[in-house]
């Protein structure tokens, strides 16, 4: 039996094959103002649930005064893809409130077994769009939205302009592509610049004379 992929930060170059071809996933967590806090990158065919704990463990916010950095947020919001018993127990064990909705199949299962559904703070879940807006701002950088780096360590290098130095819930999938090579074109025709850099001027004497007979 072939062993499955390791759960955690991707050990290779973080390039996997999925429906869209060769892709890379960015698992990111941000604060309430859309500022990135922590991130990991994996291959595009890796499930999002495997990186939830690793991204949460990388969160570290320095305090204004003395003391250890903050590593536990007050609340975390994620989409239905993270509705998993292990993921729900992780923030509960650390005293973090979670706003994760249940998919329809889990709701039907609770109803069929006469079980109580998980409570959802809808007001807190509406704030999940902040991380989507964070990804939209990051995708303005072409090197992040379209991966051109061959090595994963170059793509996620600290201090690199593509991602913050201290960057679970949502993910961004990028596709590595080869950089295009453009050839320089020279202007041609009668309006081409002369050797001195100036365009030739057309004088009245240079025009051919036409004679009209009545």
Q: Where are the chain's structural domains? A: 16-174
Residue among 63, 108, 96 nearest 168 (CA): 96
The C-alpha atoms of residue 91 and residue 67 are separated, in whole angstroms, by 23
* Paired residues of 30 in beta bridges: 36
Task: Walk along the chain (214 residues) and give the pLDDT tens digit of each residue.
Answer: 444 444 445 567 888 887 778 888 889 999 888 888 889 988 888 888 899 999 999 998 888 888 888 888 899 999 998 998 899 999 999 999 999 999 999 999 988 998 888 889 999 999 889 988 998 888 888 888 888 888 888 887 754 444 443 334 455 555 555 444 444 444 444 444 455 555 555 555 555 555 555 5
SS3 25: strand
The C-alpha atoms of residue 214 and residue 202 are separated, in whole angstroms, by 29
Provide the pLDDT for residue 1.
Answer: 40
Q: Both tokens of residue 143?
A: 């090197």
Residue with tokens 């064990």, as numbered in its chain: 93
Provide the pLDDT for residue 168.
Answer: 40
Residue 34 contacts residue 133 (beta carbons within 8 Å): yes
The C-alpha atoms of residue 8 and residue 53 are separated, in whole angstroms, by 9
Provide the pLDDT for residue 171.
Answer: 53
Provide the pLDDT for residue 159.
Answer: 42
Provide the pLDDT for residue 89.
Answer: 92
Q: Both tokens of residue 25?
A: 């996933």
Per residue in 159-211, pLDDT tens? 444 444 333 445 555 555 544 444 444 444 444 445 555 555 555 555 555 55
Provide the pLDDT for residue 54.
Answer: 92
**Which regions of the chain does DSSP assign to beta strands (E)?**
16-18, 21-30, 36-43, 75-77, 97-99, 171-174
What are the start-end ranges of the H helices in the chain? 52-57, 85-93, 104-112, 122-125, 129-138, 142-145, 152-155
The C-alpha atoms of residue 40 and residue 52 are separated, in whole angstroms, by 10
The C-alpha atoms of residue 8 and residue 10 are separated, in whole angstroms, by 6
SS3 105: helix
Provide the pLDDT for residue 145.
Answer: 83
Provide the pLDDT for residue 3.
Answer: 46
The C-alpha atoms of residue 118 and residue 98 are separated, in whole angstroms, by 10
């Amino acid at each position: 039996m072939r062993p499955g992929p390791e759960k955690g930060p991707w050990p290779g170059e973080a390039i996997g094959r999925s429906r869209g071809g060769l892709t890379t996933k960015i698992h990111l967590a941000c604060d309430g103002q859309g500022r990135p806090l922590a991130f990991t990158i994996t291959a595009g065919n890796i499930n999002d649930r495997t990186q939830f704990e690793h991204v949460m463990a990388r969160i570290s916010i320095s305090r204004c005064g003395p003391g250890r950095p903050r590593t536990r947020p007050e609340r975390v919001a994620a989409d239905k893809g993270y509705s998993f018993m292990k993921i729900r127990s992780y923030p509960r064990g650390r005293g973090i409130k979670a706003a994760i909705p249940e998919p329809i199949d889990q709701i039907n299962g609770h109803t069929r077994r006469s079980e109580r559904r998980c409570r959802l703070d809808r007001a807190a879940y509406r704030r999940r769009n902040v991380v989507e807006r964070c990804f939209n701002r990051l995708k303005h950088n072409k090197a992040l939205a379209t991966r051109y780096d061959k090595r994963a360590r170059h793509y996620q290098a600290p201090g690199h302009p593509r991602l913050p130095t201290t960057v679970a819930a949502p993910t961004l999938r990028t596709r590595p592509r080869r950089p295009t090579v453009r050839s320089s074109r020279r202007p041609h025709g009668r309006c081409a610049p002369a050797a001195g850099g100036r365009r030739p001027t057309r004088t009245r004497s240079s025009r051919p004379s036409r004679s009209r007979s009545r």
